[in-house]
Amino acid sequence: MNDDPLFDDEIAPESKSARKRQMHALQDLGEQLVSLSPAQLAKLDIDNETLIDSVLLAQRISHRSGKRRQMQFIGKLMRNVDAEQIAVALDELHETSRKAKAVEHVVEGARDALLLRGDDALGEVLSIWPNGDRQLIRQLSRSANDERVKNAPPVSARKLFRYLRSLADESSDD
């Protein structure tokens, strides 16, 4: 066939379109970094100080064209870091956030069931968190229902929610 090295697939240069797609992907990853809070950014453990400073600066820039230029600069900086490691760390951060939201929804559902059905829902709640204090949960749910009837502030409902959340936190630590 053809022995010309220009036609060999193994040493063929990357196309301009492929390079542009890669650069846009890096810039998109940089945009995800900019959307994080400083605490979340610190959790990622990125060792490139210039990149961190540029991301923090981009978070403060409000002018559209200035922000666009800063995002392009972040995309340029992303070429020199391990983008795969940052992408994996971002995925783990988002997964942790999704799990925390799911736990919060379970706690809210348990509280709402206790407030709507009272003692009938107590067995279900204790099946989720068997180390829960039956008497305290019953007392808080009854107090919360009394407060709702009297149009009083939902102090007991908040206490019940905090207690259920502490049970959920204890069970997730195990």
Amino acid 1: pLDDT: 47
Domain residue spans of the chain: 5-81, 98-173
- pLDDT tens sequence across 32-41: 889 888 888 8
Q: Which CATH class is domain 98-173?
A: mainly alpha
CA distance readout (Å), 7 to 16, 19, 46, 150: 17, 19, 40, 82
Closest CA relative to residue 128, chosen from 144, 143, 107, 100: 107
Residue given tokens 């200035």 in the structure block: 66
Q: How confident is the model at residue 155 (pLDDT cuts 50, 70, 90)?
A: very high
User: For residues 84 and 128, is the Cβ–Cβ distance under 8 A?
Assistant: no
- pLDDT tens sequence across 110-123: 999 998 888 888 88
User: For residues 71 and 34, is the Cβ–Cβ distance under 8 A?
Assistant: yes
- pLDDT tens sequence across 139-148: 999 999 899 8
Cα torsion at 139, 143, 144, 148 (round to 10°)? 160
